Homo-oligomer: A and B are copies of this chain.
Amino acid sequence: MLFHVQMTVNLPHDLDPARAERLKAEERARALDLQRAGTWRHLWRVAGAYANVSIFDVEGPEELHAILSGLPLFPFMDVRVQALCTHPSSLEAAGDR
């Protein structure tokens, strides 16, 4: 089941720099693990923003929320979620894929 997620990160300017670096490193490690597991199916940077567009493949909203709320940078994120489904004009729907 696919979900489209746009995350925008707002780090407070007075956040301790060492803590910020640790959070970013943990975030990166977590993102790589979830991508390798196939759960975090796509991850792109939005040009010009501290933001990403992501596609998650999960069992449902419970798993999605567990993943997102467990991200080290989650407390500093604005997160937008959209549930996705097969598009009638997609190759999948046309039986091509």
Contacts and interface: CB of A to CB of B under 8 A. Distances in A.
Contacts of A31: 87, 89-90
A81 B27 contact: no
Interface string A68-97: 110000011001111111111111001010
**Copies of this polypeptide in the complex:** 10
Contact of A85 (B27, B61, B87, B90): B61
Determine the interface band of chain A, counting residues with CB < 8 A from chain B. Answer: 35 or more
Contact of A43 (B36, B46, B55, B89): B89
Contact of A65 (B14, B48, B53, B75): B48
Given A12-B13, A49-B81, 4 more contacts: A47-B64, A47-B65, A48-B68, A81-B82
